[in-house]
Amino acid sequence: MERLLLVSFILVGWLRGQTEATQREEVKGMKEVLIIVDMQRGFLEPGRPLYCGDAVREKVIPNVKELIEQKLKEGAILIFTQDSHKPDDLEFKMWPPHCIEGTEEEEIVPELAGYKGYRVKKRRYSAFFNTNLEEILNEIKPDKVTVCGVCTDICVLYTVADLRNRDYPVEVYEKCVASFDPEAHEWALKHMEKILGVKVIR
């Protein structure tokens, strides 16, 4: 009896292994990238000049973490973008000084900082402007790009638009993006869906 049990255990284990292997094979053919936009202390830590607020922080950090875990299991490659400015950046005519290079604000939030992946430092809303994101994507040649992070209507939107200009299929999970301006968040999701042809998952 014990022997029979042992054999069944081994058999079930083997079958499960086979199924997982098949699933992995299926995903392997499909190259996916997850771009995590500006999940930085400067935007998500209370007290910072451009803090997005508690509601954004509480929504987006756990949901993005969960998405990262899910996408890693599916074999996706992670690309973190980081807003990174010189102290005299002209963007500070529009916004208070934030995310200056080498400061704590520039760092990825501690909840996500441990994940391996590309780090793309950017000076403007789009992660393509004056960065090597284009080359990274040209090398990976992803079949699909999922984008998450902050803010939906600013850096997420402009990065997504530039991905669509390059014909990458893009997916955005509503629960994994956020903005300090909830109306602008909703508007940006509709714009991405209707005008940029993004698959928005709610």
Judged by CB under 5 A, the stretch of 7-15, 63-71, 82-90, 113-121 that binds Zn ion is 82-90
The answer, yes or no, to whether the previous bond of 148 is cis (omega within 30 of 0) is no
CB of 75 to Zn ion, least distance (A): 32
**Helix 182-194 vs helix 157-165: angle between axes, to the nearest 10 degrees?**
10
What DSSP character marks residue 113?
T
By C-beta, is 83 or 106 nearer to Zn ion?
83
CA-based nearest residue to 111, from 59, 73, 64, 50: 64
Judged by CB under 5 A, the stretch of 5-13, 78-86, 110-118, 127-135 that binds Zn ion is 78-86
Shortest-Cβ-distance residue relative to Zn ion: 83
Interface residue with Zn ion, options 32, 38, 83, 106 (CB under 5 A): 83
Please give the C-alpha separations between residue 111 and each of 45, 55, 64, 68, 115, in angstroms, as whole numbers.
12, 17, 10, 11, 9
CA-based nearest residue to 60, from 145, 137, 152: 152
CB of 202 to Zn ion, least distance (A): 28
CB of 48 to Zn ion, least distance (A): 12
Tell me the site size for Zn ion, rule CB under 5 A: 1
Residues that bind Zn ion (CB under 5 A): 83
